[in-house]
Structure 1
Amino acid sequence: MRVAIAGAGAVGRSIAAELLESEHQVMLIERELSHIEPEAVEAAEWVHADACELASLEEAGLEDCDVVIAATGDDKVNLVVSLLAKTEFAVRRVVARVNDPRNEWLFDDSWGVDVAVSTPRLLAALVEEAVAVGDLVRLMTLRQGQANLVEVTLPSHTPLAGAPVRALKLPHDSALVTILRGGRVIIPQADDSLEAGDELLFVATAAVEDEIRAALGH
């Protein structure tokens, strides 16, 4: 997979390094010449260009990229990069970094964003996930806000202990995608038994989250 990353700061470089380890092709686009350090991520292709300029993106070959990640420290830049990637180059997947949580509402499909990643929101979700046993925690928004990845850890007193997965009466527009149990990742089957302490991961629309809580006995 070919991935373009706009912004070669600490965040962009870290993302590039992770993707390269997974054997993807990575192009880092950076406007500030002082930030161009090919030795920092040697396997990446480095491009000195303004990712907000259409001509620069054309020259960089953005149309050949499968994914664009707008990872600069400026939300305005990330929105413009996302919009150009989606509307001018028809990039299949656009991921954008949200620096200021107050701007998060802007990062949707109207600006070409498929997935918005807000560090403050993600950290808050991870904290909630660690301490909110028994409650539903939203970890990530997927597909232009149409669905969320949500998690619940079954408490020690759960009435579902020993019950099969098929006993969960989940609403439409939701799916149990995996069960985390200790060090195991379980793809749930209808006859698999639920246990106290299981972490259940669902994909669901926001509208049915209360129904999931009810199905879990909350």
Structure 2
Amino acid sequence: MIALVRYLAVDLLRSQRYLPPLLLHCAVLGMMFSGDAGDALFAYAGSCALIYPVAAWFGVVVATTEDPIQRTVTAVTAGGWGRVAVAQALLAAVGVVVLSVIATVWPVVTNPHPYSLAEVGLGAVAHLVCGFTGVGVGMLCSRPVIGRAGPSLLAVVAVVAVTFKVGQATPVGAVLGGLAHRDLGALPVAAVAAVLLVAVSAVAAWRLGPRRA
């Protein structure tokens, strides 16, 4: 499995399709935290709202770096569509960790006043929850679940927009609401829901991949 993840990662790096979401992430963080970001939970609320759509974009990138023919060859060589789907999910998770570390550390470095270790830890978990939710949405709205680029893009945009509208009923909404009200008691449940969403996206890719190859 590690070798398969490494292969997909090399293919992703070679394609350079990860660069637009990564650069957007860094550019917006640079604007958000160019001055005093203020209170830690307030600052992290903004970057958590950012990482969700960026991670959704990254999920689409991970799911579509290989074209359908190349993905079929990879599945046959790797021993099945299920292994490829799991490797995709793991690669997307690694990307979320990178995005989360950047978003968590940035205000710590740029702010004139320190954040406590507990605040930084909560911020890291909050970013991971929003990031995992994003990649789950992105992968569910991509091949092989949605085969065409246009409908896939519309689906991602629609889901992200609806998520921000429905409030705390989603993992992202629970995190943002918790940060705003300084009550993160729902964070463990949101974390489980986010991981389950990524797992569902992997299962969907596994089950639908052979049918739509």
TM-score (normalised: structure 2): 0.25
- Higher strand content, 1 or 2: 1
Structure with bigger helix share is 2
TM-score by length of 1: 0.24
